[in-house]
Every structure is written in structure tokens, then in C-alpha cells.
Structure 1
Amino acid sequence: MAESEGNLSSHYEELNFNIIADDLEPINSHEPEEEKSEKLIRLPLARIKHIMKVDPDVSLASQESVFLITKATELFIDSIVKEAYFYTSQAKKKTLQRKDIDSAIDAVDCLAFLEGALD
């Protein structure tokens, strides 16, 4: 029994090491920093920067701030789509519709600021 427990624990340690090793990135990566950041986002940075500069309070926007705003926007879109898809799948439909987004906005408290925004 003790021998099988030892094998089991070594198996878990090896499995844990493999998971950690898979998560590590190579230290000497030859890719420039800009290419890495572009892989992390899907929305165009130039368009987000232009939208940010439309605000009269924003005169300059650093690349880091544009990246963070873009990533936050993508995460927000992802979360609202997941909430809306819940109502789509509940109605046994395959197409996300405006009423599903409205249902998600009404049901989720943190999306209450969007009430009436789609009108």
C-alpha cells in the first residue's frame, strides 16, 4: 500500500511539473515585445487609440494605456456575450439577438449601467 502511494505521489509530482513546465515561456524569445502584445488582443490598437483621443480630456495616450483599455474592452465584450448567450441557449436558439443582450443587462446587476444604452 505504501509503495503504491509513493508511486501515486511521484506521478502527481511529475504531472504537476509537466503542467508548470508547459506554462513557462522561453526566456530567450526572439520575438519583439510589440508582437507579443498583438497576440494577446483582437481589437485594433489604432482604432482604440483614435476613440480614446476623441475625448477632449485625453491629449496623449501611451501604448500601455491603449493596450490596457483594449484588453479591458475585450474582456467586457466577452463577459456580456457569455451572459447574453446564456439566455440564447435557454430559449434553445442558436443566434444571439438583441433581446438576449437586454435580458442579460436586466439580470446582471453589474451591467445595470447599460440599461437603455441600446435604444
Structure 2
Amino acid sequence: MPESEGNLSSHYEELNFNIIADDLEPINSHEPEEEKSEKLIRLPLARIKHIMKVDPDVSLASQEAVFLITKATELFIDSIVKEAYFYTSQAKKKTLKRKDIDSAIDAVDCLAFLEGALD
């Protein structure tokens, strides 16, 4: 295995660890429940529910399903942004551009379904 591939795989392992570590919360947190629930998600639930209902196969969407779809979407976006930022920082730039997102999509096999989606 070439040295660059080894560095890239260690980068992905570190990135995955950071994503998991960022989502963990301290067990002995003494914040009120309302503040905790606000921090769990950042995307608007009502908008996600509306997008889900655009699909003709979806007639009802439970609050739990909407929450899970929203959280999965946030994690997916976070993952793509971190991958794209890796290419931005390699180019010694501070602004994330479309070509960085395209590079991330090309480099990560599990993102292959997004090829051509931004065209």
C-alpha cells in the first residue's frame, strides 16, 4: 500500500472517531431537559416532516421517525462537510468550494451515489 493511501485511511479513521466523539454528551450533565432537546438537532423538524410528506408513499410520519431522519441528515451533512474541508485545508484555502465537495464525493466510495448530483 502506498504511503499516501495509508495516510488517507488513517485520516478517515480519525474523522469517524471525531464524528462519534462530537455526538457524545456527558452523563452527569445537569442541564434542564428542554435545553438538551434543543441541542440534539439543528434542522427544523417541521420542514423535514414537510419534505417527507412530499413523497406519495408517506401518508403519516411519527415524531420519532421525523426526529431520526433529521438526526441522520445532520450527521450525513456533517460527514460530507468534514470530508470537503479536508480537501480545502490541503489546498491551504479557508473557503469551502464546490470543487472540494466534488473531491470528497470522488474520494469516498460510499458517496458515489452523489456523483453528478451537484451538476
Residues 45-75 of structure 1: per-residue CA shift (max 9 Å, x gap):
0000000000000000000000000000000
User: Partners in 1 of 2:80 and 2:2 — Cα distance?
Assistant: 50
Unaligned runs of 5+ in 2: none
Point out the more displaced range, 67-76 or 33-42. 33-42
Aligned residue-pair number: 119
TM-score by length of 1: 0.71
Cα deviation for residue 36 of structure 1 reads 3.9
Q: SS where residue 58 of structure 2 aligns?
A: coil
User: Partners in 1 of 2:35 and 2:66 — Cα distance?
Assistant: 15
User: Partners in 2 of 1:88 and 1:43 — Cα distance?
Assistant: 25
Unaligned runs of 5+ in 1: none
Query: Relative to 1, partners in 2 of residues 1:34 and 1:47: Cα closer, same or farther, differing over 3 Å?
Result: farther
Query: Relative to 1, partners in 2 of residues 1:118 and 1:32: Cα closer, same or farther, differing over 3 Å?
Result: same
RMSD: 11.0
Q: How does 1:1-119 map to 2 (within 5 A)?
A: 36-119=36-119
TM-score by length of 2: 0.71
Query: Relative to 1, partners in 2 of residues 1:106 and 1:34: Cα closer, same or farther, differing over 3 Å?
Result: same
Residues 10-39 of structure 1: per-residue CA shift (max 9 Å, x gap):
999999999999999999999986764332
Point out which structure has higher relative CO (alpha carbons under 8 A, 6+ apart): 2
User: Partners in 1 of 2:38 and 2:65 — Cα distance?
Assistant: 14
